[in-house]
Structure 1
């Protein structure tokens, strides 16, 4: 094999994979979001969202309602997921 056909060194990729696996096993969540899913009546769902925005302001934590849906046949019940950053760094 000539030098032009050799595979590139993969040591950097190996180190990054090992680091990510170690963080995962240590329970660290670098840069990932905190998510919670709820199933509440429409009024309670609004109140829960307000609590999140009050406790973790959108500007600092990127807090948002990630998804929501009205559950069929469940009256006014809503299933929704709230998302935010773990810290405001």
Structure 2
């Protein structure tokens, strides 16, 4: 292999993978609390409102992280927030 075809060092990637695995095994998600629901459309709206009123967005960075419509007017969605507000 010539000097122009050398592979980049992978130590940084190895450290990042190890850190992510350690966090996952410790039960943390990058510092966020996540919860996934599968509810009817109306119930999903109500659950999201409940999260935003219990953990305000400005203090807890609360957000709907992902959502997808399912058959029979069901919505699967994940809510995310910080565990505490400083």
Q: In the superposition, relative to structure 1, how do residues 78 and 13 fare at CA in structure 2: closer, same or farther (>3 Å)?
A: closer
Q: TM-score, normalised by structure 2?
A: 0.66
Aligned-CA RMSD value: 3.7
Q: Structure 1 segments of 4 or more deviating over 2 A? A: 1-27
Deviations 1:43-79 (A, max 9, x none): 000000000000000000000000000013xxx1000
User: 1:84 offset after TM fit, Å?
Assistant: 0.1
User: 1:8 offset after TM fit, Å?
Assistant: 17
Q: In the superposition, relative to structure 1, how do residues 79 and 15 fare at CA in structure 2: closer, same or farther (>3 Å)?
A: closer
User: Is the CA contact (8 Å cut-off) linking 1:36 and 1:82 kept in structure 2?
Assistant: yes
Query: How many residues in Structure 1 have an aligned counterpart in Structure 2?
Result: 84
Q: As a proportion of its length, which structure holds more helix?
A: 2
Rg larger for: 1
Deviations 1:3-59 (A, max 9, x none): 9999999999999999999988876xx961000000000000000000000000000
Q: TM-score, normalised by structure 1?
A: 0.64
Structure 2: segments with no counterpart, 5+ residues: none
